[in-house]
Amino acid sequence: MVLSKLSRNLGLAIVATGMMGAQIAPVQAAMVGTQQVIQAEQSRVDRAQLLAALEREDVRQQLEAMGVDGAMAAERVAAMTDAEIAELNQRMGDLPAGGDALGVVLLILLVFIITDVIGATNIFPFINPVN
């Protein structure tokens, strides 16, 4: 009984000491700049535009003709960085209005091939990633 009380008190002392020694991470608040808000919103809009382009029937048919599943393409777009999305949308904006979607499809295919080569994705089984 005495040993039980002693071990219990010792356990409580260890827990209390540990709790006193634990540090709580400080919290900081900072102002969010207008530029940061604009960049975040622009990234969201760019991603939505690219996903909308992938949902077009002609783009989907071109991707499927090249062996890329539309769902996999959408997953890859979701995994792209904001800079990649912005570059892709900028290139799509440079295409002539009313032109065919072949340029867009080739650009997306090129991005997929590059990500396969660096090992970020595994869409094409015939491409071996660089080690």
131 residues of the chain, pLDDT tens digit each: 566 777 888 788 787 776 666 666 666 778 878 888 888 888 888 888 888 888 888 878 888 888 878 888 888 888 888 888 888 777 776 765 555 567 777 778 888 888 888 888 788 788 888 76
**Residue 25 has what pLDDT?**
61
For position 41, what pLDDT does the model report?
86
* Separation of alpha carbons 42 and 82, rounded Å: 9
Domain segments of the chain as ranges: 45-131
Which pLDDT does position 101 carry in this prediction?
Answer: 65
pTM > 0.75:
no
DSSP for 44-103, written as a single string? HHHHHHHHHHHHSHHHHHHHHHTT--HHHHHHHHHHS-HHHHHHHHHHHHHSPTT--THH
pLDDT at residue number 3: 62
